[in-house]
Amino acid sequence: MLIEPDISVQQVLMRFPGLTTGHANEERAFIEASIFEAAQAGSLTEIIEALATKSEEYMRSDGIQKLMRLFCKTRNAITALTAELVIATLKQQERVGLLSVALQQAMLNEQSAVGNLPADLLICGSLQPDRLLRKEVKAIALRGASIPHLEITAELTGGRKLTFEDCIFDELDLSFNSDSIGSVSFHRCRVQRLSCAQDVANCIRDVGLEPGDVEETSVIDATNADIMEMSIPAQLKVLKIILRKLFQQKGSGRRRGAFYRGIHGIDPDIVDRCLTALLKSGIAYVVGAQHSDDAVWHPNRAHARRVAFLVDTLSIPDDAVVQEIL
């Protein structure tokens, strides 16, 4: 398990229908990772609210300290699903402004400054940085975090400096151009899979990543920022970004939430229309319920040549998928 439950609730958890015994030592584990991720979102929201109070007395209370201890010793930072649920809760409560305050406090708090908690909050903010991260947050520093996936976009780096020290990334997407290279720096970090544009790859040492720090690099022709600057309809911009994530970035599929990042200022409903069109055309297939946040989308490599044309073309192509979304 990613978080060891308090001894007082272990008997209840043993009877929880979402748990199963699948280990040699009969240790209980979640049947679906999404069950854990959804439960984790509620606890993280509580921590955000607590940190945002800036009250040392409240932070020292027994309930908050239990949560803080749990989140300060997780093996990995949160997934996109957990982040999406946290943001959905904050939006529903009209309290999205708390995230920036909580992130700043987490970086200052001696208990949480090193570890995954600040990374958890950054992952939340990376979903919609222009709305979720205040402009006064000029510097974000993470230390000793283990991050499953992070996409650093031009919107996330805009007007702020991101520093990572002694961090481990399973997947790192640098979705910005080389002119933003000075906004990010890495120190003694390890990256399993790195995706970036060629101009960024050419100067990757300038951000502090040496060849030995990255196990696998995927060089792509264009970043999300490049696509967003094109003089084409918003629907085609979104389609290009989705196809780029599906076909050009390494990995075993993309959760639905990944397609909503990097589309600054565009109606998310367009993402839904594009995904539906790709599914209908057979260019992509989905494991799980189509509209579920936990659904994993995969590319149909039989359409690789067609997709390459759709991503690279500078004009509006005469393609059935494009006609479907326009």
Q: Give the per-residue SS3 of 4-22.
A: CCCHHHHHHHHCCCCEEEC
237 occurs within a structural domain: yes
Q: What's the pLDDT at 306?
A: 93
Split into its structural domains, the chain has a count of 1
Phi, psi (5° rounding) for residue 139? -140, 130
190 occurs within a structural domain: no
**pTM for this predicted structure:** 0.72
Beta strands in 94-232 (DSSP E): 139-143, 146-153, 161-165, 168-175, 184-187, 190-197, 214-220
Amino acid code (one letter) for 228: M
141 occurs within a structural domain: no
Contact call for residues 121 and 97 (beta carbons, < 8 A): no
CATH number of the CATH domain containing 306? 1.10.10
Give me the count of residues in the chain.
Answer: 326
Long-range contacts formed by 109-115: CB under 8 A, 24+ apart: 109/51, 109/59, 111/68, 111/72, 112/68, 112/71, 112/72, 113/143, 114/143, 114/144, 115/72, 115/73, 115/74, 115/143, 115/144, 115/145
Radius of gyration (C-alpha) of the chain in whole angstroms = 20
Q: What's the pLDDT at 178?
A: 85
Alpha carbon distance 325, 79 (integer Å): 29
Q: What's the pLDDT at 1?
A: 42
Alpha carbon distance 141, 143 (integer Å): 7
Q: What's the pLDDT at 155?
A: 85
65 occurs within a structural domain: no
Count of H-run helices and E-run strands, the chain: 15, 12
98 occurs within a structural domain: no
Domain assignment of residue 263, given as a range: 222-326
Distance in angstroms between the alpha carbons of the first and the last residue of the chain:
45
Alpha carbon distance 237, 147 (integer Å): 28
Tokens of 259: 């397609």
Tokens of 284: 């992509």
Q: Can you say whether residue 80 is alpha, beta or left, with left for phi > 0 and alpha for psi between -120 and 50 degrees?
A: alpha
Tokens of 50: 């607590």
Instruction: Specify the DSSP class assigned to residue 204.
Output: G
322 occurs within a structural domain: yes
150 occurs within a structural domain: no
Q: What is the pLDDT along the chain (326 residues), one digit of tens a residue?
A: 455 555 555 555 555 555 555 555 555 555 566 777 888 899 999 999 999 999 999 999 999 999 999 898 899 999 888 888 899 899 999 999 999 999 999 999 989 999 999 999 999 999 888 888 998 999 999 999 999 999 898 889 988 999 999 999 999 989 888 888 999 999 999 999 998 888 888 899 999 999 899 999 887 766 777 788 889 999 999 999 999 888 876 655 787 877 887 677 788 899 999 999 999 999 999 887 888 776 788 899 899 999 989 988 888 999 999 999 99
Instruction: Specify the DSSP class assigned to residue 114.
Output: B
143 occurs within a structural domain: no
